Chains A and B, each alone.
Chain A
Amino acid sequence: MQLNENETVAKSRNKILAQVIQVFSNHNLLPWLICAAIFLIMGLISPSMFSGYSIASILSTATPGILMSAGEIIVMIAGSIDLSLAASVGFSSVLAAGLMEKMGLPIPLAIIIVLLAGALIGLINGLIVGKGKLQSFIVTLGSSVVLRGITLVYSAGTSIPLAQTGQTFIKISTYQLLGLPLYFWVGLVLIILTSFYILKTKYGRHLYALGGSELAARVAGLRADSLRIKAFTLAGFFSALSGLTLLAKFGSGWPQAASGWEMDGIAASVLGGANFAGGVGLPLGAIPGSIVLDLILRFLVTLGIDPYWQYAAKGIFVIIIALSLARGEYGR
């Protein structure tokens, strides 16, 4: 009976719609629903939320976080965790500012170097975790401290404001397209492409397999280490991209940028459908995941809650949403 139903459904609707449904299937749909629900509730409380300006502001504010979480989700699909992404975001924004301002490199070259550096950081993390057979938590905790140190050394502890070449960079990357900055659109396109890649290729399938059961993946002959290394490299790339958007937003490479984002990134990833056990999630989930985090903060501000209490309240919200996402399996 069930099979027949599925078949008729598949036949009656058009293919693209069926594929979209597949993308949002099961767990990957829930984060979007929760995001929409929270947005609606908040909009009903303060209707200004629905204005185009407000929506654009939410999306552009959330972009750096979205990009970093997209990277985190890729690593979490593989069953690992990357705590160094936030440090990598900070490093990338300072490196980009330095390359443009101190060294006067042309913008495209600076961007390429920053993206490659981010990917390289990810590659090194992946190599240490994969080849050293170590736990990603502790390896990336270490490398995040190393990165923060290097960032301080490179910037001599002060921020690097964008004055000359950098101004052009800001102008280009914040160029408004349909009311949103260019960096948002670039990020969106890359996340969609990556999600499509992970959903539709052998690499993606193998990554989910690795996260589901590393032992079974190895027995099936999958190259667990190289799969994982590639995931970390992709995550490094996305955090470099996040660093660049952060730089474009603030106009200055600040060594402490994105500090404390480690936990936000993981929270957004879990709210976006990934989990610590691995094997589930989609980079696209970073969008609702990060926006929900951002909305919660905005909501607390509109309610006029004491800023000190906002931290605690945010945490409580995150736990409540995580509970609603839980699928009856045991936590750890």
Chain B
Amino acid sequence: MENDIVLETVDLTKIFPGVKALSKMNFSLKAGEIHGIVGLNGSGKTTFLSVIGGLIPRSSGEILIKGQRLKKFNLEIARKYGIVIANQVPAVFPNLKVAENILIGREQTKNYLGFPILDQKGMEEQVRDFLSSCDFQIPLNSKISDLSPSILKQIEIARAMISNFEIIGLDEPTSMMARSDVYKLFSLIKQLKKTKKAVIYVTHRIPEVFELCDRVTIMKNGEEVGTFNVREITPDQVVRLMTGKTTLNFSKNHSSSQGEKVLDLQQVSTKPLKLAETPLREISLSAYKGEVLGIVGVVGAGKTELGKAIVGLNPISSGSINVMGIEARFGSTMALARRGIVYVPEDMMKEGLFLNFDIRQNISLLALNVMFRNFIQRKKEENLIKQYISQLNIRPPRPNFPVKNLSGGNKKKTLVARGLALRPNLLILDELTTGVDVESAFDLMMQVRELAKDGVSVILLSSEFERILGFLDRVLVMKDGRIVAEFSSPNISEEEVINYATK
């Protein structure tokens, strides 16, 4: 077995300005192995993948491929040895076609009068063959901008898999992915194992490790905590090693008394602005003070569209939306925010955070409007955000730290803090737990319960049922732009919710 090792790293270290993202990482990967890497956000999983994929240079340490020590290592060399990476956030080109996206950098050419020109037909055929072999259903003729996040994720994975690779690194492949597509992906990965390919499977979803992987490496603060045979370790032990905590208590502790009505929707319908949007169909619902309401459904059920309609970001075509006694109209987003009605978007990088800003400026953006008339008092601003940095446990706890260098979970917390800093009355959180590790998700959900205790009405829009159901007072299930079921605590069953959401 020993000579089966295709990739090995010794004391691999990566230092970013001010942060040791990866510290003396020792890792080995065998042919035909599915090797899981788990760890909280910011533990160095993605950094490790980026280094061995040649995307960023290492600071020190060794990389060995099939026992051969490589002095020089970069993207070209990684490619030459058949190492490919599928990123957590799909890197797609919205101006290119699906096939062009998948084959980017590996285009086929044919000779035309002695000149090599792109072989469009051949490329499309190659992509079609590949997709049918792996059972991914990606509409080849659609515009990228019309595709769902789940499909974009499949494009990213397909791009890595279509090459002749020996080693593939998958970074959180199931985040953003619809449940049915996850099963296809799993069977595809198991296929790879049979053909003696080596898979590095990076995730923070521990059940997936136990379903797929042979071995698992646990990371914490940029270091390897341990590598185990999956049969010799339990999920509880993995969580303990990841977090240093004994158990994560996901129990509920809320009262179920109903407060005054904060939000009231009557027969709200919308027409889609873009092709990818799901139109809302005659949605009626209410939300109450001090209540945590979940609106759940699969990706594309219309949750985001509903959230945006409530805060006046999307126009409605019929029906009425009443928030705290006033009519929410298209374009009244800022007026609603002043009254403490906030929507926290799902897409942090595009719709949420300002990457040219630091933590302070990102958090205070909305609160400024309430706190100051014109001039910003630096001290007041600083004090405000320090409170939220510690309340949400944002790491590093430095107000002037650039947001673009934060890890995924801390980015999410920063974005949520922006809503909290406004002292909201109605807080709509879109996919709060997506891309967030177990510990951060738990922190966030406990914050949500605290808010409810203080009388805030919280609406969680989510496709990750299992992570939030336990915290909810009430849940509405959405499907194809309609509300198809409603359950109240304690009568919320995961099976039933999934049943209504998917069938």
Contacts and interface: CB of A to CB of B under 8 A. Distances in A.
Interface stretch (B188-196, B243-251, B319-327, B355-363): B355-363
Interface in A219-235: 219-223
Given A216-B350, A216-B354, A221-B337, A209 B398 contact: no
A186 B26 CA distance: 64
Given A216-B350, A219-B351, A6 B398 contact: yes
B365 A2 contact: no
Contacts of B418: 220
A301 B82 CA distance: 56
Nearest to A79: B356
Nearest to A199: B376
A205 B356 CA distance: 11
B200 interface: no
A112 interface: no
Interface in A1-34: 2-3, 6, 19, 22
B369 interface: yes
Interface string B43-56: 00000000000000
A280 interface: yes
Interface string B364-384: 011011001011101000000
Nearest to A200: B375
* Contact residues on A (Cβ < 8 Å of other chain), bracket: 20 to 34
A216 B356 contact: no
B397 interface: yes
B199 interface: no
Choose among A202, A215, A280 the residue with the greatest number of B CB atoms under 10 Å from its CB: A202
Contact of A2 (B334, B351, B361, B398): B398
Nearest to B350: A215
A222 B396 contact: no
Given A213-B350, A216-B351, A221-B334, A208 B369 contact: no
A212 interface: yes
A201 interface: yes
Given A6-B398, A201-B375, A220-B366, A209 B345 contact: no
Given A200-B375, A212-B355, A212-B357, A219 B368 contact: no
A210 to B, nearest CB: 9
B376 A201 contact: yes
A142 to B, nearest CB: 25
B3 to A, nearest CB: 41
- Taking chain B's interface residues, is the majority helix, strand, or loop, or is none over half, making it mixed? loop
Contacts, number: 81
Contact of A280 (B312, B343, B356, B368): B356
A208 B356 contact: yes
Nearest to B345: A219
B430 to A, nearest CB: 10
Contacts of A219: 308, 313, 333, 343, 345, 351-352
Contact of A205 (B18, B343, B368): B368
A90 interface: no
A289 interface: no
A64 interface: no
B353 interface: yes
B365 A211 contact: no
Interface in A78-133: none
A187 interface: no
A326 B302 CA distance: 42
Contact of A201 (B357, B374, B397): B374
B334 A202 contact: no
A279 interface: yes
B336 interface: yes
Contact of B352 (A6, A205, A208, A216): A216
Given A212-B356, A221-B311, 20 more contacts: A6-B400, A19-B378, A200-B376, A202-B369, A202-B374, A205-B361, A208-B357, A213-B353, A216-B345, A216-B352, A219-B333, A219-B343, A219-B351, A219-B352, A220-B366, A220-B418, A221-B312, A221-B313, A278-B356, A280-B356
